[in-house]
């Protein structure tokens, strides 16, 4: 029988008595002994230790959106989007981009960084005849989200954009590229393909945005990034965003940017909006049984479940459907159309469970996710931070649960 209080601290005094029960064991401060050794991940890092947002504890912006040196049409567009007070990254980055500085912005997803670079760049292309901006991102979903944001912020301005990503018909993208586009947004592989076919001419772009550069590096796009940068004219305006700063990322900054301004607002070590716990799966108990008993509890209204492999994600999704749950999946083996359909069904609450791989879910901004469940352990702590950042957004509370199998 499913238990009634799955997150009770009272259950955390002993793990042995759960070996012969279906009840998952949710505990705080779990020791390292429960984690699979192959992961080299300390489960204590899954308990209110992650840096989720780039923000100051009591942040007071230096600017209002009306203070920025953008024209009245852009300011009106900002108001129509419902933006009122700049986020920390917006407050710090926008003035430097407007001055034409190269910028390194260190920020997680969900901090408003897309608008932080789009607002000044929209002003720039409105006042620079022939200006074109290339925006390079790691995934199709992020490219599509940025495309939607561009369209929303440029409504009525007669500015145009095209989204160039793999997994979608290249013919339609080629057709769109025959017309003037102030913004070209895409993933490295598809952009390189279109450049080599002669449909994108890098010499025409004076500005490039490399968004989520650390994720592009992780996905093996470094050669494609160098290809794109090598074809850009000099001098150029380069904006570089990353959630992390590794030695390799530092090397790319030195390679790609000229005297950049670095923006990194102070971080809080714990995301107050996300309650993080581990779920200890007792020996001999099927993880799926534990997951089922969680999902039928009250409050699991909109759940994003992460798996490690495409096959595992698809298999889990089908098993949940067989058990009567309304579930969908997104992973790299699905066509772009099917992935988009799954996302739409989840966003519009036609299904309340979405099972995803890390790459497929990178950069997703989905409102109202009540829970993130790490059904499979993340490969790195950065992946963990990214995963759980899908909940507790826009000032709302969220919960993140990480399955740990007892040994």
* Token couple for 271: 């995301």
Q: Give yes or no for residue 57 having a pLDDT over 60.
A: no
Whole-structure pTM over 0.75, yes or no? no
Handedness of CA 298, 305, 190, 133 (dihedral sign): positive
Phi, psi angle pair for 182, to nearest 5°: -75, -30
Give the helix, strand, coil percentages of the chain, each rounded to 5: 40, 15, 45
Buried b (16+ CB within 10 A) or exposed e, 188-227: bebbbbbbeeebbebeebbbbbbbbbbbbbbbebbebbeb
Q: Report the pLDDT averaged over residues 202-215.
A: 94
Q: Give yes or no for residue 84 having a pLDDT over 60.
A: yes
Domain coordinates of the chain in residue numbers? 9-53+269-405, 65-263
Q: What end-to-end distance do the CA atoms of the chain give, in Å?
A: 24
In CATH, the architecture of 9-53+269-405 is 3-Layer(aba) Sandwich (3.40)
- For tokens 């099927």, name the residue: 286
Q: Which of 89, 84, 88 is nearest to 64 (CA)?
A: 84
pLDDT of amino acid 5: 33
Q: Minimum mean pLDDT among 36-40, 388-392, 402-406: which range?
A: 36-40
* Token couple for 226: 């160098």
65-263 folds as Rossmann fold (3.40.50)
pLDDT of amino acid 268: 44
Task: Measure CA 260 to chain center.
Answer: 24
Asked if 397 and 59 touch (Cβ cutoff 8 Å), the reply is no
Taking the C-alpha atoms of residue 270 and residue 276, their distance in angstroms, rounded to an integer, is: 10
Q: Give yes or no for residue 343 having a pLDDT over 70.
A: yes
Asked if 256 and 207 touch (Cβ cutoff 8 Å), the reply is no
Taking the C-alpha atoms of residue 352 and residue 346, their distance in angstroms, rounded to an integer, is: 6
Taking the C-alpha atoms of residue 168 and residue 193, their distance in angstroms, rounded to an integer, is: 13
pLDDT per residue as tens digits for the range 119-172: 999 999 999 999 999 999 998 889 999 999 999 999 999 999 999 998 788 999
Buried b (16+ CB within 10 A) or exposed e, 120-140: bbbbbbbeeeebbbbbbbbbb
**Whether the domain at 9-53+269-405 and the domain at 65-263 fall into the same CATH topology:** yes
Buried b (16+ CB within 10 A) or exposed e, 344-361: ebbbeeebbbbbbbbbbb
Asked if 209 and 117 touch (Cβ cutoff 8 Å), the reply is yes
pLDDT of amino acid 362: 66
Asked if 14 and 34 touch (Cβ cutoff 8 Å), the reply is no
256 Cβ contact partners less than 8 Å away, ≥ 6 residues apart: 210, 225, 229, 238, 240
pLDDT of amino acid 361: 66
pLDDT per residue as tens digits for the range 224-277: 999 999 999 999 999 999 987 888 889 999 999 999 999 986 544 335 678 888
Over pLDDT 90: what percentage of the chain?
Answer: 56
Q: Which of 317, 315, 322 is nearest to 354 (CA)?
A: 317
β-sheet bridge partners, residue 278: 27, 402
* Token couple for 66: 């009306």
Beta strands in 40-160 (DSSP E): 103-106, 133-136
Cα torsion for 76, 79, 81, 86, to the nearest 10°? 120
Q: Which of 399, 392, 304 is nearest to 343 (CA)?
A: 304
């Amino acid at each position: 029988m499913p238990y009634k209080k799955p997150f009770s601290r009272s259950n955390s005094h002993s793990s042995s008595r759960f070996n012969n029960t279906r009840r998952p064991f949710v505990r705080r401060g779990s020791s390292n002994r429960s984690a699979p050794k192959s992961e080299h991940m300390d489960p204590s890092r899954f308990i209110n230790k992650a840096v989720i947002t780039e923000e100051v504890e009591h942040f007071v912006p230096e600017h209002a959106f009306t203070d920025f040196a953008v024209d009245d049409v852009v300011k009106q567009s900002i108001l129509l989007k419902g933006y009122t007070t700049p986020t920390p990254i917006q407050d710090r980055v926008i003035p430097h981009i407007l001055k034409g500085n190269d910028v390194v912005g260190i920020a997680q997803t969900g901090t408003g960084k897309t608008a932080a670079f789009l607002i000044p760049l929209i002003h720039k292309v409105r006042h620079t005849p022939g200006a074109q901006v290339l925006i390079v991102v790691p995934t199709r979903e992020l490219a599509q989200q940025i495309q939607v944001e561009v369209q929303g912020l440029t409504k009525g301005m007669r500015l145009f954009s095209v989204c160039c990503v793999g997994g979608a018909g290249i013919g339609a993208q080629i057709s769109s590229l025959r017309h003037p586009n102030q913004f070209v947004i895409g993933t490295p592989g598809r952009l390189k393909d279109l450049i080599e076919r002669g449909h994108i001419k890098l010499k025409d772009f004076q500005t490039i945005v490399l968004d989520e550069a650390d994720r592009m590096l992780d996905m093996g796009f470094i050669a494609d990034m160098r290809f794109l940068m090598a074809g850009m004219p000099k001098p150029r305006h380069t904006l570089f965003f990353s959630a992390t700063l590794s030695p390799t990322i530092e090397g790319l900054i030195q390679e790609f940017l000229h005297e950049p301004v670095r923006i990194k607002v102070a971080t809080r070590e714990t995301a107050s909006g996300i309650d993080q716990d581990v779920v200890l799966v007792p020996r001999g108990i099927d993880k799926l049984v534990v997951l089922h008993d969680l999902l039928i509890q009250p409050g699991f209204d909109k759940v994003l479940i992460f798996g490690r492999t495409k096959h595992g994600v698809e298999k889990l999704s089908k098993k949940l459907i067989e058990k009567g749950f309304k579930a969908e999946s997104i992973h790299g083996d699905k066509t772009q159309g099917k992935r988009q359909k799954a996302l739409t069904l989840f966003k519009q609450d036609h299904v309340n469970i979405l099972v995803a791989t890390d790459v497929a879910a990178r950069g997703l901004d989905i409102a109202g996710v009540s829970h993130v469940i790490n059904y499979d352990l993340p490969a790195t702590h950065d992946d963990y931070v990214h995963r759980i950042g899908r909940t507790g957004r826009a000032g709302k509370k969220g919960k993140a649960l990480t399955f740990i199998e007892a040994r």
